[in-house]
Amino acid sequence: MGFAEQRFTVNLSILFTELPLLERPAAAATAGFTAVELWWPWVDSPTPERAELDALRKAIEDAGVRLTGLNFYAGQLPGPDRGALSVPGAESERFRANIDVAAGFARTLGCRSLNALYGNRVDGVDPAEQDALALENLVRAAEAADRNGAVLLIEALNEPESPRYPLVSAPAAVAVVDKVNETSGLGNARFLMDLYHLSMNGEDLPSVIERYAAKTGHVQIADNPGRGAPGTGSLPLEDLLGRLHKAGYDGWVGLEYKAGASPSAEAFGWLPVEQRAAR
């Protein structure tokens, strides 16, 4: 039980980053994968030129891989930002401008998961004001995802690496999921269960799986410590994924770990080639 039952998708925003963006889908395919996911690739632009969107779409299609997940605009990632939708002013407006662009791009590739990072707390702004803005923007994002027949993902990050991000536990993120579903009436918001972030928060992962597997729309993994490939740290990732499978989760598992000093193509030795292609 564990790895053999999963459908894996490679995050091209943290793996294969030694290559230009448009070469990464083909590199993932060469490594044996048939599915990929992405953070919003244009960190400085929520509304890139059509030619840039078309070029990335063509690269994904030509590689013969499936886009299974896409982040909405979230600012500088990797970098200091942790989302934009709860940040008053220009960043929130950039997020809103991105909603239809990101959803439209996802729709052209049959992508059914859109991830909206909440955003950091801002000095001098009442947290309640940020939360109200976040709910308004998350409902807009849920509506756009619904038009695609997609789910809206809401993620908990970890407090040591993201101390100003307010959703740093599974219960906190799931509470927002529930609020968005209640407000929108759509029911398409889901929890993104990132086992690395939750482990960094010191959460009881078997308990999180038992409590929230039914509300989970996507899973991401990296080992801890180090955020490397499975087997480089001490997390029992195969056992945890087996627990998720037993709990009824049959969705994608995103490989969102760092390759380290070696080329990304060498960072998958833990996973037999025959288990990399989605079944």
**Contacts with 47 (C-beta within 8 Å, 6 or more apart), sequence order:** 97, 98, 101
CA distance 279 to 275: 9
Helices (H) and strands (E) in the chain, counts: 8, 8
CA distance 111 to 46: 18
Closest CA to 155 of 183, 189, 121: 189
- 61 part of the active site: no
Is there a contact between 194 and 156 (Cβ–Cβ < 8 Å)? Answer: yes
CA distance 186 to 49: 31
**Contacts with 136 (C-beta within 8 Å, 6 or more apart), sequence order:** none
Please state the φ and ψ torsions of residue 97, each to the nearest 5 degrees.
-65, -30
**Contacts with 202 (C-beta within 8 Å, 6 or more apart), sequence order:** none
The active-site residue, picked from 155, 161, 203, 266, is: 155
Please state the φ and ψ torsions of residue 231, each to the nearest 5 degrees.
100, -10
Q: Which helix (H) or strand (E) holds 59?
A: helix 50-63
| Direct distance between the N- and C-terminal alpha carbons of the chain, in angstroms, rounded to an integer | 16
- 155 part of the active site: yes
The active-site residue, picked from 37, 91, 203, 256, is: 256
Catalytic residues: 155, 256
